[in-house]
């Protein structure tokens, strides 16, 4: 069985490879986005594609559409943090066999492989071992290229920020699914931006709030050994769209701030709830508050930013309604290092 694992996250690629049954794959190829996957298909025969949805260059939806257009015959199982019902319906309509929620469950994957005849009913379901198949990696160049020499999956480099980005991606998808269900709409999900910011870079990032036309909601959160701040902000169109959506849901007046505070509470709360589950932390949150437009972000983060700050930034796009908003999670250096340490420890426990 020749398998292609397509995901922009090294952590996710490694998890998927380790979740395959022992002896199932004779060869595994990795791709970091859909354009690379299409090059792999042009170069060799692939029997099974494990496909993420949220990727740069060519996302999972676009990859499935391109495979259909090029008449590429290959079984596809989507493995994604975007668990909105509409996302599942769309990938199934594009020809995927099944949809598995991130983080990947090895038992669920192996059951799916059995259900679709990739492994026989009599074969035992055992997790893949490090000694199993040959593995190919994409060459790291500016443009997609053919795969490089064979390497084992344990050679995949997974940085702390890459791991945090994947955890944030899972939490983002969970938050979007809850909001999509609540509001009866589809939310287009991008790749989370995860980075350390210097105080000067933080000032630039928050400088958008001083430009005017931005409505900003801040909500602090704490857990054992850490604290941080969640900031939801939107331009005039985003504010109007959020007000309308939440007002319809709660039967509230669109002219006051209650719908915006409700939207912030739902988005921030859903993200932190799933994020906390992934890093084994429980967060306590303050009440969300509106910030004045002439304030450079929150006084807590801005005044304490004498050192680097860890940022997770997520743009939510309500494509069907024609507006969007941005969620920014900010953690001072000590808290950011604590989170990265927890992500690293949990990853080590899962993959070793």
Q: What are 56-107's pLDDT values in tens digits?
A: 999 999 999 999 999 999 999 999 999 999 999 999 999 999 999 999 999 9
CA distances in angstroms from 198 to 153, 201, 230, 294, 339, listed in the order given: 34, 5, 18, 22, 18
Co-location of 281 and 137 in the same domain: no
Co-location of 74 and 201 in the same domain: no
Q: Do strands 193-197 and 215-223 pair parallel, antiparallel, or not at all (unpaired)?
A: unpaired
- Tokens of residue 254, six digits: 């669109």
Instruction: Give the residue from 92, 125, 158 where a domain finishes.
Output: 158
Q: How many CA atoms lie within 13 A of 150 on its CB side?
A: 7
Instruction: Give the residue from 142, 158, 174 where a domain finishes.
Output: 158
- Tokens of residue 191, six digits: 């790749």
Q: How many whole angstroms separate alpha carbon 118 and alpha carbon 263?
A: 44
Instruction: Give the residue from 132, 158, 184 where a domain finishes.
Output: 158
Query: In this structure, is the dihedral angle defined by the CA atoms of residues 106, 191, 284 and 248, taken in order, positive or negative?
Result: negative
Phi then psi dihedrals of residue 139, to 5 deg: -65, 140
- Our CA angle for 35, 41, 44, nearest 5°, is 140
Phi-psi map region of 238: left, alpha, beta (phi>0 left; psi -120 to 50 alpha): alpha
Co-location of 98 and 186 in the same domain: no
Co-location of 188 and 238 in the same domain: yes
- Tokens of residue 44, six digits: 């060799």
In the prediction, which pLDDT does 300 show?
46
Bridge partners (DSSP) listed for residue 324: 317
Q: How many whole angstroms separate alpha carbon 152 and alpha carbon 67?
A: 27
| Helix %, strand %, coil % of the chain (to 5) | 45, 25, 35
For residue 195, the enclosing domain spans 161-351
CA proximity to 311, closest of 218, 229, 190, 233: 229
Co-location of 203 and 314 in the same domain: yes
Co-location of 89 and 219 in the same domain: no
Query: In this structure, is the dihedral angle defined by the CA atoms of residues 136, 137, 141 and 142, taken in order, positive or negative?
Result: positive
In the prediction, which pLDDT does 352 show?
57
* Domains of the chain: total: 2
Co-location of 149 and 174 in the same domain: no
Q: How many whole angstroms separate alpha carbon 138 and alpha carbon 302?
A: 41
| 218, 289 contact by CB (below 8 A) | yes
- Full-model pTM: 0.83
Query: Which one-letter DSSP state was computed for residue 280?
Result: T
Co-location of 153 and 177 in the same domain: no
Co-location of 171 and 290 in the same domain: yes
Q: How many whole angstroms separate alpha carbon 55 and alpha carbon 251?
A: 37
In the prediction, which pLDDT does 120 show?
75
Low-confidence ranges of the chain (pLDDT < 70): 121-156, 208, 210-212, 251-255, 292-305, 347-352
Bridge partners (DSSP) listed for residue 315: 326
Interacting residues of 92 by C-beta distance below 8 A, sequence separation 6+:
99
In the prediction, which pLDDT does 128 show?
42
């Amino acid at each position: 069985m020749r398998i292609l694992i397509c995901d922009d996250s090294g952590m996710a690629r490694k998890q998927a490879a380790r979740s395959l049954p022992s002896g199932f794959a004779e060869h595994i190829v990795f791709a970091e986005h859909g354009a690379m996957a299409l090059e792999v298909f042009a170069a060799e025969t692939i029997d099974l594609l494990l496909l993420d949805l949220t990727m740069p260059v060519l996302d999972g939806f676009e990859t499935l559409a391109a495979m259909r257009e090029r008449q590429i015959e290959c079984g596809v199982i989507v493995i994604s943090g975007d668990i909105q019902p509409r996302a599942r319906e769309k990938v199934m309509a594009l020809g995927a066999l099944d949809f598995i929620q991130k983080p990947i469950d090895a038992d669920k994957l192996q059951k799916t492989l059995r259900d679709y005849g990739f492994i026989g009913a009599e074969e035992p379901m055992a997790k893949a071992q490090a000694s199993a198949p040959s593995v190919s990696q994409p060459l790291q160049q500016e443009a997609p290229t053919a795969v490089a020499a064979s390497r084992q999956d344990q050679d995949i480099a997974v940085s702390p920020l890459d791991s945090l980005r994947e955890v944030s991606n899972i939490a983002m998808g969970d938050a979007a699914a809850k909001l999509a269900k609540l509001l009866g709409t589809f939310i287009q999900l991008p790749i989370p931006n995860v980075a350390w910011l210097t105080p000067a870079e933080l000032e630039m990032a928050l400088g958008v709030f001083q430009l005017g036309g931005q409505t900003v909601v801040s909500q602090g959160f704490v857990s054992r050994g850490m604290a941080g701040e969640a900031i939801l902000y939107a331009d005039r169109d985003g504010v109007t769209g959020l007000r309308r959506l939440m007002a319809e849901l709660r039967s509230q007046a669109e002219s006051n701030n209650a719908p915006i505070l409700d939207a912030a509470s739902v988005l921030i709360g859903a993200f932190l709830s799933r994020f906390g589950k992934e890093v084994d932390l429980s967060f306590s949150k303050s009440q969300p508050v509106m910030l004045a437009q002439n304030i450079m972000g929150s006084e807590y983060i801005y005044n304490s930013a004498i050192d680097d700050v860890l940022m997770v930034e997520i743009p939510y796009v309500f494509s069907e309604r024609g507006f969007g908003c941005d969620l920014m999670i900010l953690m001072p250096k000590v808290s950011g290092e604590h989170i990265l340490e927890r992500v690293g420890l949990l990853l080590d426990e899962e993959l070793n």
